[in-house]
C-alpha cells in the first residue's frame, strides 16, 4: 500500500489543476448557455443554416440546445474528451515515471514483484480518474441546476458519468499498455493522447459521411452519446462488450509487456 499512497500523492497536485480547469470550462459553458435560453427561434434559425451532418458531427443532434438536456447533450462529448485525455496521459506516465525521473533504483531492487507494482499503480490511477469523474459530475449538477428552468437532469448526468468512467478506465489502460510496450518512455502519454484525439476526429468524419458508419466501432466517442439517454433510448449491448473487451486486452498487455520490459536502474 506504500506504493499506492506514493503514486496517489504524486498525482494529487495535477488532479487539483485538472479539476479547477474543468470547473472553469463548465462554468464558461453554462454562461454560454444563458445566451441560448429564451432565444429558441434565433438559435434554431442560426443552427439551421449549417448542414445537418455537420451539426450531428459536432454533437448537436435532435434535441434543442436552448434547453438544458439539448445543451448538455452537445457538451458531453467535450467533457468525455477532457476526461479521456487526462486518463491517457496519467496511464502513459504512471508506469515509466521512475525511469524518466531516474529513480528506478529506489523501487525495483526491493523484494516486490512487478505485478504488484503494476497493481498498486493502476489502483492509484483508478482512484484519481474516479475522483475527477465524481468532481465533474458534482460540478455539472451544481451549474446545471443553477441554470435549469425545466425538469431535473441530475439522474441523467449521473448515468452519463458512470458510462464516462468506463471509457476513462479504457483510456487509462491504453496509456499503461503503450508505456509498457514502447521503448521511448517519454512519448507514451503523447501517443495515447494522439490516439484519443484521432478517434474523436474519426467520430466527426463518421457524422459527416454515412459511408464511414461501419467504422463506428473504432471510436469510443460513438459508444455512449448523451442524446440517447435524454431521448429515453437504450445503448446497444455491443458497445459494452467492446468496451470491456478492450479494457481486458489493455490490462493483459500492460502486465505482460511490463513484466518483460528491460528497465534501467
Which pLDDT does position 37 carry in this prediction? 65
Which pLDDT does position 211 carry in this prediction? 84
Task: Please state, in angstroms and rounded to a whole number, the distance separating the CA atoms of residues 141 and 200.
Answer: 25
Which pLDDT does position 57 carry in this prediction? 56
Which pLDDT does position 117 carry in this prediction? 85
CB 163 within 8 A of CB 176: no
Angle between helices 237-260 and 154-181 (to 10 degrees): 30
Global confidence as pTM: 0.87
Cα dihedral angle (216, 217, 220, 224), rounded to 10 degrees? Answer: 80
Helix-then-strand count for the chain, H and E: 10, 0
Domain edges within the chain: 2-260
CB 182 within 8 A of CB 195: no
Would you give per-residue pLDDT tens digits along the chain (265 residues)? 588 888 888 888 899 999 999 999 999 988 888 776 666 666 566 555 555 555 565 556 666 777 888 888 888 999 999 999 999 999 988 877 766 655 555 555 556 777 888 898 999 999 999 999 999 999 999 999 888 877 889 999 999 999 999 999 999 999 999 988 887 667 888 888 899 999 988 888 887 777 888 898 999 988 998 888 888 888 899 999 999 999 999 999 999 988 887 665 4
Task: Please state, in angstroms and rounded to a whole number, the distance separating the CA atoms of residues 137 and 97.
Answer: 29
| φ and ψ at residue 251, rounded to 5 degrees | -65, -45
Which grid cell sits at 101? 525521473
Q: Which residues 6+ apart lie within 8 Å of 189 measured at CB?
A: 88, 89, 90, 91, 92, 93, 175, 179
Angle between helices 2-36 and 114-147 (to 10 degrees): 20
Q: Which helix (H) or strand (E) holds 34?
A: helix 2-36
| φ and ψ at residue 264, rounded to 5 degrees | -80, 130
Which pLDDT does position 220 carry in this prediction? 92
Helix (H, G, I), strand (E, B) or coil at 158: helix
CA 69 and chain centroid, separation = 20
Angle between helices 68-94 and 2-36 (to 10 degrees): 150
Amino acid at each position: 500500500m506504500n506504493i499506492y499512497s506514493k503514486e496517489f500523492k504524486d498525482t494529487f497536485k495535477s488532479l487539483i489543476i485538472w479539476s479547477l480547469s474543468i470547473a472553469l470550462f463548465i462554468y464558461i459553458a453554462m454562461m454560454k448557455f444563458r445566451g441560448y435560453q429564451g432565444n429558441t427561434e434565433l438559435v434554431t434559425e442560426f443552427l439551421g443554416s449549417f448542414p445537418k451532418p455537420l451539426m450531428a458531427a459536432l454533437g448537436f443532434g435532435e434535441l434543442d440546445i436552448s434547453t438544458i438536456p439539448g445543451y448538455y447533450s452537445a457538451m458531453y462529448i467535450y467533457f468525455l474528451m477532457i476526461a479521456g485525455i487526462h486518463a491517457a496521459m496519467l496511464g502513459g506516465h504512471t508506469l515509466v515515471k521512475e525511469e524518466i525521473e531516474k529513480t528506478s533504483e529506489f523501487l525495483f531492487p526491493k523484494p516486490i514483484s512487478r505485478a504488484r507494482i503494476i497493481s498498486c499503480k493502476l489502483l492509484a490511477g483508478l482512484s484519481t480518474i474516479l475522483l475527477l469523474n465524481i468532481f465533474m459530475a458534482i460540478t455539472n449538477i451544481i451549474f446545471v441546476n443553477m441554470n435549469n428552468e425545466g425538469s431535473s437532469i441530475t439522474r441523467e448526468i449521473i448515468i452519463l458519468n458512470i458510462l464516462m468512467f468506463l471509457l476513462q478506465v479504457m483510456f487509462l489502460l491504453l496509456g499503461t499498455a503503450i508505456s509498457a510496450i514502447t521503448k521511448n518512455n517519454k512519448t507514451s502519454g503523447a501517443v495515447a493522447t494522439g490516439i484519443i484525439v484521432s478517434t474523436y476526429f474519426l467520430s466527426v468524419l463518421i457524422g459527416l459521411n454515412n459511408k464511414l458508419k461501419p467504422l463506428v466501432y473504432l471510436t469510443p466517442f460513438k459508444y455512449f452519446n448523451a442524446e440517447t439517454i435524454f431521448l429515453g433510448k437504450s445503448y446497444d449491448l455491443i458497445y459494452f462488450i467492446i468496451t470491456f473487451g478492450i479494457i481486458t486486452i489493455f490490462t493483459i498487455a500492460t502486465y505482460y509487456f511490463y513484466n518483460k520490459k528491460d528497465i534501467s536502474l
